[in-house]
Amino acid sequence: MIEFKRERIHDLWGELAPLLPEHWREVAYYADIPLDPDTERYEAIENAGGLRCYTARNSGRLVGYAFYFVGPHLHYKGAVVAQQDVLYVERSHRGGLGLKLIMWCDEQLRAEHVQVVTHHVKNAPHLNFGPLLKRKGYEPTDTLWSRRLDQ
């Protein structure tokens, strides 16, 4: 049975440990930059009220997560925005759970008076969940471009 919950990141690190490398291997565009989450900074942001950690559990076991940075937008200080940081569902639980998690997160964020939710979506065809977001009323608003400066 799948259960969605809001949890504290401090309590999740142990369960995230096996999932984060799997997630990173799947999505890392610059695979030569090692995964090394700044756990102290994540916890500080959460303690300051700026991080939401939502989880999907199957019979208690962590199988997915969605983290959002939440707060007033720097350009529009009267607008509360949630920016997706990471979103992951184990391969064995894909096929609808990701969308259910996103929609559940939207409801949680709406209850906190968040006005806008943003998601970054990878371009790789097997990682692009943009069409799914579009079906649920999301609109493409920006394109993110990256360039390596250390090579």
Residue 144, domain member (yes or no): no
Residue 40, domain member (yes or no): yes
Residue 98, domain member (yes or no): yes
For the chain, the domain total comes to 1
pLDDT digits (tens, 9 = 90+) for 2-35: 999 999 999 999 999 999 999 999 999 999 999 9
Instruction: Report how far residue 59's alpha carbon sits from residue 135's, in angstroms, rounded to the nearest whole number.
Output: 29
Residue 43, domain member (yes or no): yes
pLDDT at res. 124: 86
pTM, entire model: 0.95
CATH of the domain at 20: 3.40.630.30
Instruction: Report how far residue 151's alpha carbon sits from residue 143's, in angstroms, rounded to the nearest whole number.
Output: 23
* DSSP 8-state code for residue 90: -
Helix residue ranges, H only, the chain: 9-27, 39-47, 97-111, 130-135
Q: What percent of the chain has pLDDT over 70?
A: 100
Q: Contact at 8 Å (CB) between 88 and 101?
A: no
pLDDT digits (tens, 9 = 90+) for 36-63: 999 999 999 999 999 999 999 999 999 9
Q: What is the DSSP string of 20-62?
A: HHHHHHHH-SSTTS-----HHHHHHHHHTT-EEEEEEEETTEE
Residue 140, domain member (yes or no): no
Residue 26 belongs to domain spanning: 2-135
Residue 142, domain member (yes or no): no
Residue 151, domain member (yes or no): no
Residue 149, domain member (yes or no): no
